[in-house]
Amino acid sequence: MRATLATLLSFVIVASLTACGGDDETPPPVARERQAPPPPPGVEAVDDARLVAAGGEKESWLTYGRTYDEQRYSPLAQIDAENVAQLGLAFSYDTHTTRGLEATPIVVGGVIYTTGSWSIVYAVDAKTGKEIWRYDPQVPGEFGPKACCDVVNRGVAVYKGKVYVGALDGRLIALDAKTGIPAWEKLTVDQSKPYTVTMAPRVVKGKVIIGNGGAELGVRGYVSAYDAESGELVWRFYTVPGDPKQPQENPALDKALPTWTGDVWHQVGGGGTVWDAIAFDPELDLLYVGTGNGSPWSRHIRSPQGGDNLYVCSILALRPDTGELVWHYQTTPADTWDYTSTQHIMLADLEIGGAARKVLMQAPKNGFFYVLDRATGELISAEDYVEVTWATGIDKATGRPIEAPGADYRENSVVVRPSTLGGHNWQPMSFNPELGLVYIPANDIPWAFGVDEDFRHKPGQWNLGVSAKIASEMPRDIVSGRLIAWDPVGQKKVWEVPYPEAWNGGTLATAGGLVFQGTAHGTFAAYDAASGKKLWEMAAGTGVMAGPTSYELDGEQYVAVMAGWGGAFGLAGGDAAASAHELAGKNQNDGRLLVFKLGGTAQIPVTAAIAREVAAIAGDLDPEKVKLGTYAYHTWCWECHGIGGVAGGVLPDLRTSTLFFSDALEPIVFEGSLAAKGMPNLSAWVTKEDLELIRIYITAKRNELAAKQAGGAAPAPSTDAAPAAAGGR
Ligand code: CA
């Protein structure tokens, strides 16, 4: 793979020699009378009519999925299969972050509005990359550990002069689009609970729609609508019932309550968080949201006497004015595998069986591609888009999955596909309506499930109800990914591009007959939309997860994407995530906005890796203590520092961390001395004895690494030695 990257880099240099020349054509006589084309109207002129008609604006990308139907299809065709080989970097903009970047850039009025780690918002000139303003909401570092899946943010919404961002700590903030100065901010969550916000808000009929996450730690899910002008709360829809002894907030929850049993769910929160997908059909006046997994994960603990647990892992159709539930479709009743239905919801009008159907499409984590009638929620079809072992299919009559024998891990632990990371996760899909194909960034990852026999609710900590020890024993070298072109009418794969790594980027489809996608191994690529043939690829400096955007300015088409490795897999993926990061070049994971155009000649600045000698530590490696340390580590540390002690390339790898093997360790763990950087104070949970066992385990893993590297290999870089760049927490 190194040779491949070297080849790519040499291609960049070649591409830089093919810049377009200037336009020296003599202007025709009428040119003096002709006015320069008016600049595309900015955020001040984004209203409901313009959002509904967003598909026609070539110079803009007005909402997260480009259009309310979230198809992510650009009508631009200047860059096509014939000339894409001449694509090069127009400019890059450094976010000064070293954590995951997941935002889809919004483009309007010649300005890119995007976000980075810790919910920082950037306004950048869409032609030059010059910063116009940046806004740091100053999210306190102690909110970092509440985020299951890195301190990421998926972008902003824009409307009538304002830019809206959901901050990790649960604030919804409206900024003046011209200055980046806050107009108002509202707290959308109870900050004493482990809620976080990472999703991009959407503006629908003058209301800002925003949900939240936190179901791994334990919260009750909901989605809210705030008045875009004043910030007042208009409605809130809870997705799971509240205290069963109290009246429920709405009739839909009265119906849901009998589908829950026991009382652990209420104590932990129940889950069903709305943390990503939203779509809107203005004609049907329906707002679609996806809900997350049950909390805790294991249904045997969450709802011991059974029940579907409405409305977890569901697609909900709500009235945008009131939040009233019109219909629901639960993709995974009684979920016990973290099979969220928060993944991309896409709307399209398809001809199926000779009839025009208004459909909703989703490829949720559970591995099935669903096509629903979006007026009624009726199942039209569902087939597996990756290998699925937990169910043998979806019953067309009932719309329910047919669970495979043994997938329920109440009695015996079992390896299941897809994993908790999903056959597909939040990485956006895209749709080419000409070809009728959906482009799915898919994962092939197995997961070992077993019940956590010693489960007790630990407020504010991870509360999965599944055995992390069993998960830690999974072989990690059988992880891969794929780009799949899916025919939603025939419910079949048309082509695929295999990847050696999982967790590749979101996709963009264009009228130029192309599909763009970033990769976990640190490149940005273009494929032929009809055949999947790779037409172009360029090194991106680090792993790319985010969904790309395209826009046109002064007659030139641009393609923009955020590059910054991380997210759930980047943090916890262990060896597999680390190998993707290694392929990406080990460059300290500097975050950037990358913008490409034909003939672009800019270069990505590469930061040299900081390699440090790892001091030899003599540890007490009593095998029994190493074993106990394995359990302690996989109780308190693995979610951020990686399964098996192997970090995914985002947060410090403890094996090579000089801080871990220093006197600073106890103040870090017991006094919160790194709380501002996101490392929680664990004094309420971890004992000195636990920490000593964790130290012994990590010492064993460090020695293992040293043995692997013996023979003159360079010492591994220590990620906690990275310089604290501005904003680079
Ligand atoms: Ca989850």
pLDDT tens readout for residues 391-414: 999 999 999 999 999 999 988 899
Q: How far is it, in rounded angstroms, from Cα 262 to Cα 305?
A: 7
- H or E element: which one contains 14? helix 2-16
Q: Does residue 44 lie within any of the structural domains?
A: no
Strand partners, 415: 448
Q: CA nearest 343: which of 363, 361, 360, 313?
A: 363
Full-model pTM: 0.84
Query: Comparing 275-284, 559-568, 608-617, 619-628, which segment has the lowest mean pLDDT?
Result: 608-617
Q: Does residue 714 lie within any of the structural domains?
A: no
Q: Does residue 556 lie within any of the structural domains?
A: no
Q: What are phi and psi of 393, to 5 degrees?
A: 160, -175
Residues whose CB falls within 8 Å of the CB of residue 270, separated by 6 or more in sequence, listed in order: 220, 221, 240, 241, 260, 294, 295, 302, 309, 312
pLDDT tens readout for residues 584-641: 765 568 899 999 999 999 988 754 332 222 223 334 578 888 888 887 888 889 888 9
pLDDT tens readout for residues 648-662: 888 899 998 888 988
Whether residue 15 has pLDDT greater than 60: no
Cis peptide before 418 (omega within 30 of 0): yes
Would you state the pLDDT for residue 476? 63
CB 525 within 8 A of CB 544: no
Residue 340 Cα to ligand 1 midpoint, Å, equals 6
Strand partners, 371: 361, 381
At residue 358, the 3 state secondary structure works out as: strand
At residue 29, the 3 state secondary structure works out as: helix
Residue 439 Cα to ligand 1 midpoint, Å, equals 23
Would you state the pLDDT for residue 239? 98
Q: Which residue is associated with the tokens 């026991």?
A: 262
pLDDT tens readout for residues 127-158: 999 999 999 999 999 998 888 899 999 999 99
CB 469 within 8 A of CB 490: no
Strand partners, 114: 122
Residue 291 Cα to ligand 1 midpoint, Å, equals 10
Would you state the pLDDT for residue 475? 67
pLDDT tens readout for residues 52-61: 999 999 999 9
Q: How far is it, in rounded angstroms, from Cα 98 to Cα 543?
A: 12
Work out the number of other CB atoms within 10 angstroms of the CB of residue 642: 29
Q: Looking at residue 33, what DSSP letter applies?
A: T
Whether residue 30 has pLDDT greater than 50: no
How far CA 440 is from CA of 113, 422, 600, 640, in Å, comes to 25, 12, 28, 27
Q: Does residue 643 lie within any of the structural domains?
A: yes
Residue 216 Cα to ligand 1 midpoint, Å, equals 6
Whether residue 190 has pLDDT greater than 50: yes
- State the pLDDT confidence band at 9, using cuts at 50, 70 and 90: very low
How many domains is the chain built from? Answer: 1
CB 449 within 8 A of CB 464: no
CB 486 within 8 A of CB 438: yes
Strand partners, 271: 220, 294
Would you state the pLDDT for residue 664? 87
CATH number at residue 663: 1.10.760.10
250 against 541, higher pLDDT: 250
Residue 613 Cα to ligand 1 midpoint, Å, equals 37
Q: Does residue 286 lie within any of the structural domains?
A: no
Q: How far is it, in rounded angstroms, from Cα 574 to Cα 571?
A: 8
Structural domain boundaries, residue 703: 623-709
Would you state the pLDDT for residue 712? 39
Q: How far is it, in rounded angstroms, from Cα 153 to Cα 171?
A: 13
pLDDT > 70 fraction of the chain, expressed in percent and rounded? 89
Q: Looking at residue 592, what DSSP letter applies?
A: E
Would you state the pLDDT for residue 17? 30
261 against 38, higher pLDDT: 261
Whether residue 367 has pLDDT greater than 50: yes
Q: CA nearest 427: which of 594, 562, 274, 577?
A: 562
Single-letter amino acid code for the residue at 132: I
Q: How far is it, in rounded angstroms, from Cα 378 to Cα 397?
A: 10
Chain mean pLDDT for the chain: 88
Active site residues: 338
Cis peptide before 40 (omega within 30 of 0): no
- State the pLDDT confidence band at 37, using cuts at 50, 70 and 90: low
Work out the number of other CB atoms within 10 angstroms of the CB of residue 664: 14
Strand order across the beta sheet in which 157-159 lies: 157-159, 162-166, 171-176, 182-187
Residue 333 Cα to ligand 1 midpoint, Å, equals 15
Average pLDDT over residues 320-349: 98
CB 5 within 8 A of CB 582: no
Residue 274 Cα to ligand 1 midpoint, Å, equals 11
Q: CA nearest 215: which of 265, 257, 140, 254?
A: 265
Q: How far is it, in rounded angstroms, from Cα 239 to Cα 290?
A: 10
Q: CA nearest 346: which of 505, 212, 566, 507?
A: 507
Whether residue 340 has pLDDT greater than 70: yes
Give the chain's end-to-end CA distance (angstroms, integer).
Answer: 30
Average pLDDT over residues 663-687: 90
Q: Looking at residue 507, what DSSP letter applies?
A: E
Residue 704 Cα to ligand 1 midpoint, Å, equals 32
Residue 273 Cα to ligand 1 midpoint, Å, equals 9
Residue 313 Cα to ligand 1 midpoint, Å, equals 10
Q: Does residue 103 lie within any of the structural domains?
A: no
296 against 609, higher pLDDT: 296
Q: How far is it, in rounded angstroms, from Cα 688 to Cα 694?
A: 10
Strand partners, 258: none
Would you state the pLDDT for residue 222? 98
pLDDT tens readout for residues 201-233: 999 999 999 999 999 999 999 999 999 999 999
Whether residue 477 has pLDDT greater than 80: no
Residue 215 Cα to ligand 1 midpoint, Å, equals 6
Q: What are phi and psi of 355, to 5 degrees?
A: -120, 145
- State the pLDDT confidence band at 728, using cuts at 50, 70 and 90: very low
- State the pLDDT confidence band at 676, using cuts at 50, 70 and 90: confident
Burial class of residue 160, CB neighbours in 10 A (0-12, 13-18, 19+): middle
Q: Does residue 669 lie within any of the structural domains?
A: yes
Q: Does residue 78 lie within any of the structural domains?
A: no
Would you state the pLDDT for residue 632? 83
Strand partners, 358: 349
Would you state the pLDDT for residue 584? 72
Would you state the pLDDT for residue 606? 57
How far CA 461 is from CA of 164, 237, 560, in Å, comes to 29, 25, 37
Residue 297 Cα to ligand 1 midpoint, Å, equals 8
